[in-house]
Structure 1
Amino acid sequence: MQLGDPVQEGPDALAARVAGRLDRRLSKDDSAPVALALSGGGDSLALLLTAGAWARAHGRPLLALTVDHRLQSESVGWTRFASEAAHAVGADWRGLVWDGPKPDRGLTAAARAARHRLIADAAREAGARVVLTGHTADDIAEADWMRDRGATLGRLRDWSPSPAWPEGRGLMLMRPLLTERRGALRAWLTEQGARWIEDPANTDPRFGRSRARLALAGDAPARHVPHREGRSEDGAPPCIVVEEEGVLGLDRTVGARALAAALVCVGGGTSPPRGERLAALLSRLRAGEDVVAILTGARVEARGDRVRLMREPGELRRHPVAPVRLLPGREAVWDGRFAFRTDQTGWRVEAAVGRLGALTAGDRARIDRLPAAARGACPVLLRDDGTGPVLADPAVARRDLVPERLALALDQTTHEDDLTRARWRNAVERPIFTDMTFRPAAQDGASDDRGPL
């Protein structure tokens, strides 16, 4: 992404620039709310004021979400300030709290992860599809400074999937201020007569982000140039194809970012593979070697020209996934890969591993369509009355989350309208997505904070 939109003159230049960016990404005349992360600091307050004006002009509800991490004695007052600011621009507001014990180490990362989870849950519950955040060009520069000193932060983009999983499924993050300078935003707020919160943690040298901010104070942020995704010999981007439910096929020339994203999606987790392991796998794939490897809970099988990714059933034995009990009318996610919902009581979801022999002949015929190594990682349904295991039942709807998650991770979704397609199917239809193909975008680089997603 390139910094520096064309400069517009006049007192409404910032609002006009933000409105233009929102116009390019968001739907108009839609009743679903747009969510906005509001801390009460200068960046998020500038976002609230500019996005609020856009929402009023287009009749879109705006929902501001404020997380109290319970880390500062002033947090209650800050939350009240955020509530008042949101209501002053006509936005709805909801306060969220990170309760429970706080870790002694890695507090900043834990707070960030908790914030993403809380905001994603609240946004999805409200029916929002996009969450606006107030990251700026200075945040890009600070992250670059931290990476140069060993941090594992990802690269911020103006449009990327929520990093919370499965809480953030189907949610995109948008950063309309990513080319703006923090100082310019505060100057603009001052002209508006607005007040904002200054968190003392932002200048506390115990935290890496604060050290970066202090080190870069007054410096212009470096221009961020993304890496480029690897391409095949004919110049076309490598493909990833959904061959069967939960099974991906890919080209040996796939790039690092796309492979990492596919591994995380198939494995159902959130942590990308370690850099050295990913590099070693890429080297072997490009050398044409036959490979069987397990990374991040995903199994890689490469033989000849064919490379397949699938969930590794052995991981479900080594690290069992707890059964998921389905509650009527509520969506439930199992193993980070499948979503279920039903209107009945008494259903639960478990792994097929160890239960394949108990399936009916019809279900065995269906599951045998999958590679042998993938069968045990399939979900099965059981009922409290003794029914099951079965692969499907008319009373339970199911969808495979891997394709939709991968579509978001590989930049196939560029507008809010792309998130409104109907995705649910009844499980007895046995969806096999053999016609779904993903072409990684040209830009390479992780999304918000960490990981490829």
Structure 2
Amino acid sequence: MTDAPLDQRFADAMGQLLGPDFPSEIGLAVSGGGDSMAMLALCHNWTRVYGVRLWVVTIDHGLRPESADEARMVAEECAALGWPHATVRWDWDGTGNVMDAARRARLELINRWRGTLRYVLMAHTQDDVAETFLMRLSRGSGVRGLSAMAAKRDVGSSPSKDLEAEEYVGDIPKQWEIAKGGPGRSGTFQIVRPCLGMSRAELRHYLKTLKGRWVDDPSNENDAYLRARMRKLLPDLAEVGLDISTLSETAHRLARADTALRARACQVWKRIGSEGRVGSEPTGELLFDRDGFDRLERDTQMRLLADALRYTSSQTYAPREDALEALLDRILGGGGGTLHGCEVRMERDQLRVFREYNAVAGLETELTSVDGRMRLWDGRWRVTDLGQTGTRIRALGPDGWAQIAEKRGDSPPFHSARSLPSFWRDDQLVACTPLGFGNNAHTRLWPMGREMFNFAAFLLSH
């Protein structure tokens, strides 16, 4: 910890993360809690020197009766400081884990809110790093899971649509208009965390000095949540030397080790791996030389497998370590299995990772208008319509495979090919671009919502 004033430390962090040529506008995600309200105050004071315009968003998850009032409090503070603010509402559908669903929805809504903004600040602190470390430790995580969150990272994919008027209240940044025939927007955005080297206590002291306002979320004290339980453990752990600073520093050291392990995995991939193609068309599969994979140290095998599953399914998070270990054991025994919406098979000469058919078998879209627009299928295929209404986009399936029997050529095997996107009219297959079937290119692999993105780049950035 340094004795420098918090304003100076914030300015130094912003310089390291976004300088020296700062963007003209940045976004801030502010919940109304002490950490994010302190970040708002710090950023406001910082802009007096650097002249950057701020846009502020509050995601109202609607999970507590007080949340709407808290969002209004943030709006009032932003108005007093002279910054535009918007509240974006999310309604939980009641399925899945509520905390995980809220986290995913928050990123998705921020992505749609940000419009042309490239950077969005979040107020994660040293305390968050320590708490996350303990949470992951309790789940048996490895080096990657125990590593500190990055101070800056790419997040999400290009959203398919801008926010609609009924989804928010307030002022929002300039939005992209979706261009005909393309997404019309600039890919991923970056989360920036300038407060990772600051403690929660320091930020609250800063707010108190400024007589600032904030609210305390009661869920932070609710033992039903693992993070709340870990937070309560921290004072006792500090008595035996495991204070917030020590835990955070350990997580950051592990992050450095994780960077080295990512580089190792990327080197190995370039030597023993390839992305599936039929001619020049990608099939979305990942292929590993069997003997080369067998000879790897287990940690690299685990990393390559976990990232292959994430990349192929376009999921944000890796599977649980125990499930991943079990699948790896089956693979090394000559078998395979399904996990994370993917299927893995150990074939005679190679290991094949591809999209599980059952994960996309019911994913079907009918084109009711002909507008030349890009559409996403399965979150990773950019699809352009055929210029004919009544065309359906769906997985190839066994019936589609049967219709191209004489034109398969060097296609991937049936169990992999059946999950590829294809175009249909009634019961007739019209096109399956990845297999070279059809007159024109109508689908294009768009992994993780990025142009010119491959598995090697994914390994280094995740």
Q: Deviations over 1:92-148 (max 9, x none)?
A: 322111225546x8433333333233223323xx13344322111101211233334
Deviates more, 1:265-274 or 1:186-195: 265-274
1:59 is displaced (CA, Å) by: 5.9
Aligned pairs for 1:339-354 within 5 A:
339-341=382-384, 346=389, 347-353=391-397, 354=399
Q: Aligned residue for 1:321?
A: 363
Q: Aligned residue for 1:242?
A: 275
One-letter amino acid matched to 1:75 = S
Aligned residues of 1:129 and 1:172 also touching (Cα < 8 A): yes
Aligned residues of 2:431 and 2:439 also touching (Cα < 8 A): no
Q: Aligned residue for 2:379?
A: 336
1:171 is displaced (CA, Å) by: 3.6
Q: Aligned residue for 1:273?
A: 319
SS in 2 for 1:265: helix
One-letter amino acid matched to 1:176 = P
1:267 is displaced (CA, Å) by: 2.9
Aligned residues of 2:125 and 2:200 also touching (Cα < 8 A): yes
Q: Aligned residue for 1:377?
A: 419
Q: Aligned residue for 1:256?
A: 302
1:331 is displaced (CA, Å) by: 4.5
Unaligned runs of 5+ in 2: 162-186
RMSD, aligned CA: 4.2
Separation in 1, partners of 2:122, 2:153? 11
One-letter amino acid matched to 1:36 = L
SS in 1 for 2:431: coil
Separation in 2, partners of 1:50, 1:379? 48
Aligned residue-pair number: 398
Q: Deviations over 1:313-364 (max 9, x none)?
A: 35544xx223364764765321222133569673542111122344597xx4
Deviates more, 1:105-114 or 1:67-76: 105-114
Q: Aligned residue for 1:448?
A: none
The correspondence for 1:18, drawn from 13, 28, 31, is 13
Separation in 2, partners of 1:164, 1:231? 22
Separation in 2, partners of 1:17, 1:326? 53
Q: Aligned residue for 1:119?
A: 110
SS in 2 for 1:389: strand
One-letter amino acid matched to 1:21 = Q
One-letter amino acid matched to 2:382 = A
Q: Aligned residue for 2:198?
A: 180
Aligned residues of 1:131 and 1:174 also touching (Cα < 8 A): yes
Aligned residues of 2:26 and 2:121 also touching (Cα < 8 A): yes
Separation in 2, partners of 1:165, 1:439? 16
One-letter amino acid matched to 2:201 = G
Separation in 2, partners of 1:394, 1:18? 53
Aligned residues of 1:242 and 1:437 also touching (Cα < 8 A): no
1:178 is displaced (CA, Å) by: 1.7
Q: Aligned residue for 1:135?
A: 124
Separation in 1, partners of 2:320, 2:107? 22
Residues 102 and 311 (structure 1), Cα distance of their counterparts in 2 relative to 1, 3 Å cut: closer
SS in 1 for 2:207: helix
Greater helix content = 2
Unaligned runs of 5+ in 1: 406-418, 425-432, 444-452
Separation in 2, partners of 1:234, 1:102? 38
One-letter amino acid matched to 2:419 = A
Residues 87 and 349 (structure 1), Cα distance of their counterparts in 2 relative to 1, 3 Å cut: farther
Residues 304 and 161 (structure 1), Cα distance of their counterparts in 2 relative to 1, 3 Å cut: farther
Separation in 2, partners of 1:29, 1:300? 43
Aligned residues of 1:340 and 1:396 also touching (Cα < 8 A): no
Q: Aligned residue for 1:211?
A: 229
Deviates more, 1:15-24 or 1:227-236: 227-236
Separation in 2, partners of 1:203, 1:232? 40
Separation in 2, partners of 1:274, 1:93? 37
1:78 is displaced (CA, Å) by: 0.9
SS in 1 for 2:459: coil
Q: Deviations over 1:167-226 (max 9, x none)?
A: 897344332212211111112223334222222332233433222223325943112132
Does residue 9 (structure 1) correspond to residue 4 (structure 2)? The answer is yes
1:23 is displaced (CA, Å) by: 1.8
Aligned pairs for 1:17-166 within 5 A:
17-23=12-18, 28-29=22-23, 34-52=26-44, 61-100=53-92, 102=94, 106-123=97-114, 126-150=115-139, 156-162=149-155
Separation in 1, partners of 2:266, 2:86? 48
Residues 334 and 279 (structure 1), Cα distance of their counterparts in 2 relative to 1, 3 Å cut: same
SS in 1 for 2:18: helix
Q: Which structure has the higher relative contact order (CA within 8 Å, separation 6+)?
A: 1
Separation in 2, partners of 1:329, 1:345? 10
TM-score computed with the length of structure 1 as normaliser = 0.72
1:263 is displaced (CA, Å) by: 0.8
Separation in 2, partners of 1:350, 1:326? 15
One-letter amino acid matched to 2:194 = P
Residues 237 and 349 (structure 1), Cα distance of their counterparts in 2 relative to 1, 3 Å cut: same
